[in-house]
Chains A and B, each alone.
Chain A
Amino acid sequence: MTIRTAKAVILLIAGGCAAVAGLLFKEHREYREAVVVSPYITEVKKLSDYSDSVKDSVNDANVYIFDSGVPGGTAVLIGGTHPEEPVANMSAQIFTENVKPLQGKVIVINRINRSASLGTRMGEAYPRFYHVKTPWGTKKWRYGDRVASPLDSWPDPEVYIHYPSGQNLAYMDIRNANRTWPGRPDGLLAERTCFAAMELIRKEKADVVMDFHEAELEYAVENTIVVHEKGQPVAAMASMMLTSQSFDVPIGMEFSPKALHGLSHREIGDHSHAVSYLAEVAEPMLDRIRGITDEELLMSGKDRFVMKAGEHKLLYAPIDENGWPAHKRTARHVTTMMTILQVHNMLTPDKAIILDGIPSYGDLMDNGMGQYFADPDASPAERVFFD
């Protein structure tokens, strides 16, 4: 074989690989996630309705508003801050698809950093999608990255200087929607996204904001509620109630550090009237010492390497052969939010937010998540939206 023939073969193979990879990436980037909003929806807005800073951008997320019409408080639930933590957006979507507000108002964003859900983290061999079995078939979501895609926000600065604190952060964190709060209208994509969300929180006069997350078991801030100082009594009481009455693995509480900027639990509380909470739950898929990185690990949360680390006391959360399945992680987030609201209502009854229709911890543990997501093909078109 001549060198020219060999090069042609190489080009063919490399081109073939690029074509296959390109098609897979394109399919991932263009996949639209269906959301069937609960019948009690009042309005679906866009983030750009609150600030032009995200208008026509990939992060102009859907904002689902459920208003009971009965005076009370307002809660904002944020999912999808880090799309490599899938239980965050699934927990938010449990509310979007099931909530019936009885008092006050609840506003849900399933995918606040949509750009980060359009591609997975480079070099990690993550699956592109994950699925949940439902009574009507299989529901599919995009798995994603921690930060916005470089296709939407590129290049990064050498050092990211947080606005307005001036704190130096790692360069890629300028694409991280939990390092760019409170944002600015003329910043890069994640900063503009957080600014628009801040505008939503301020204009809707939110009382409670919850940002759902997941964390590796090797990380110290795990299975906990991180809270702004304004919400310490509520978070303390909620964590005690959940540990005592609902969860097999206790949920703790952490104070939001005053000097660590850009995080939702710090900046939302500082720059608005709202009390900001962030909930963490264990996700073994994120551990560096994990084994095979696939959808099975993502959804079952079972990994023998992570378990081995646990045997050597290298983890901050327990893990056994039952793992940390996605429905359990979702159940913890949903129940944490409901308990926080319960305590919030006790302490500030004039700003009560009473929600119905949300499955309990036991419901989600017994039935799984599937039955709480509706079939978009069998639902009225006016209730189907895409994130």
Chain B
Amino acid sequence: MKKNATALFCLCLAALLFAGMASAEAPKLEGPYLVTTCGQSPGAVMLRMSALQAGVQAEHDNALSAPALAGKKAKTLIVTAGTSMKGMGAAGTNVNKEIERCTALMEAARSAGMTVVGAHIEGMARRTDSSDEASIEAVMGAADIILVVEDSDSDGFFTRYAGEHGKPIVKVKDALAIGNALK
């Protein structure tokens, strides 16, 4: 009897765990999408092109700010993390300004009822320095859902982060596969 109760308890625990994992592993993303970058890397352009190829509507604006959200009909905001010195130089900004813009934007999007996705889709090449780290920390911290490509999570960083912070994670093979994940 005691044995059966223990087995039942284990089964229930496993079912609960699996249910939790299932919801964490496959959150439903819904368009239309708004895409921006926190660090002026090309991630947002890549995401839009991937979405375009999959026939998903996505609008891209590397300088999207909280006030500009008004009037947008998007259901989901995606902010790509990882920085580009060339990109930030070209846009006349820096990582601190980018974080300030994006955290305000993500807050405003959530208030407007949008789902906020923090994405890292350019692989380990955008996880090299302290600027990348700051951008990732800020974006993932403010996101409802995490979206990454396998290369970005090759050391399991995002999986661990999602687990520790109780955030669902969507993991796709590479940037080209993102479009289908957004369908």
Residues on A with C-beta less than 8 A from B36 are none
| B89–A240 touching, CB < 8 Å | no
Does chain A have a CB within 8 A of B84? yes
Q: Mark out the residues of chain B between 51 and 105 whose CB falls within 8 Å of any chain A CB in the assembled complex.
A: 53, 84-87, 89-90, 92
Contact of A254 (CB < 8 Å), options: B49, B87, B176: B87
Which residue of B42, B84, B151, B173 contacts A236 across the interface (Cβ within 8 Å)? Answer: B42
A172 to chain B, nearest CB (A): 22
Residues of the B chain whose Cβ atoms lie less than 8 Å from the Cβ of A260: 86, 89
Closest Cβ neighbor of A318 among chain B residues: B124
Contact A226 B176 (CB under 8 A): no
Q: Which residues of A contact B (CB under 8 A)?
A: 220-224, 226, 232-233, 235-237, 239-241, 243-245, 250, 252-260, 316, 318
By a CB distance below 8 angstroms, the chain A residues around B108 are none
Contact check, A220 vs B128: say whether CB atoms are below 8 A apart. yes
Interface string of B161-174 (1 = CB under 8 A from A): 00000000000011
A314, closest chain B residue (CB)? B128
Chain A nearest CB from B125 CB (Å) reads 5
Chain B residues contacting A318 (CB-CB under 8 Å) are 124
Instruction: Determine if A233 and B49 form an interchain contact, defined as CB atoms under 8 angstroms apart.
Output: yes
Query: Max chain B CB contacts within 10 Å: which of A221, A235, A237, A252?
Result: A252
Verify B174–A252 contact, CB threshold 8 A: no
CB-contact partner of B49 in A236, A244, A255, under 8 A: A236
Selected contact of A257 from candidates B48, B50, B90, CB within 8 Å: B90
Interface range on chain B (Cβ under 8 Å from partner): 20 to 34
Tell me the minimal C-beta distance from A259 to chain B in angstroms. Answer: 6
- Shortest CB-to-CB span from B145 to chain A, Å, is 21
Contacts from B to A (Cβ < 8 Å): 40, 42, 45-46, 48-50, 53, 84-87, 89-90, 92, 122-126, 128-129, 151, 173-177
Are A250 and B42 within 8 A (Cβ)?
no
**Minimum distance in angstroms from A93 CB to a CB of chain B:** 28
A255 near B125 (CB under 8 angstroms)?
no
Q: How far is the CB of A314 from chain B (nearest CB, A)?
A: 10
B84 and A254 contact, CB distance less than 8 A: yes
Pair B53/A259 contact, Cβ less than 8 Å: no
Contact A240 B49 (CB under 8 A): yes
When chains A and B are docked, how far (Å) is the Cα of A235 from the Cα of B173? 19
- Contact A259:B90 (CB < 8 A) given known A240-B46, A252-B122, A253-B46: yes
CB distance from B102 to the nearest CB of A (A): 17
CB of A61, distance to nearest CB on chain B (Å)? 28
CA distance A196 to B126 in the complex (A): 37
Interface of A is mostly: mixed
Chain B residues with CB under 8 A of A233: 45, 49
Docked-complex contact A257 and B53, CB < 8 angstroms: no
Q: Are A316 and B128 interface neighbours, CB within 8 A? A: yes
Contacts of A239 in B (CB 8 A): 42, 46, 175
Besides A220-B85, A252-B126, A257-B87, 10 other A-B contacts (C-beta < 8 A): A224-B125, A236-B45, A237-B49, A244-B175, A252-B123, A253-B45, A254-B84, A254-B87, A257-B90, A259-B92
Q: How close is B91's CB to chain A, nearest CB, in angstroms?
A: 8
Nearest-CB residue, chain B, relative to A224? B125
* Cβ contact within 8 Å between A244 and B42: no
Q: Is the CB of B42 within 8 A of A232?
A: yes
Q: Is the CB of A243 within 8 A of B86?
A: no
Report the nearest B residue to A225, measured CB to CB: B42
How many Å from the CB of B142 to the closest CB on chain A? 24
Contacts of B175 in A (CB 8 A): 239-240, 243-244
Interface contact A237-B42, CB-CB below 8 Å? no
**What chain A residues lie within 8 Å of B122 (beta carbons)?**
250, 252
Name the CB-closest residue of A to B47: A236
Determine whether the beta carbon of A236 is less than 8 Å from that of B86: no
A254 lies within 8 A of B86 (CB): yes
Cβ of B173: which chain A residues have Cβ within 8 Å of it?
Answer: 244
- How near does chain B come to A234, taking the closest CB pair, in angstroms? 9
Which residue of A is nearest B128, CB measured? A316
20 pairs, CB–CB < 8 Å, chain A vs chain B: A220-B85, A220-B128, A232-B45, A233-B49, A235-B42, A236-B42, A236-B46, A236-B48, A240-B175, A240-B176, A241-B176, A244-B174, A244-B176, A252-B42, A253-B42, A254-B84, A254-B87, A255-B84, A256-B86, A316-B128
The answer to whether B46 touches A255 (Cβ under 8 A) is no
A380–B89 Cα gap in the complex (Å)? 51
Contact status B174-A255, CB under 8 Å: no
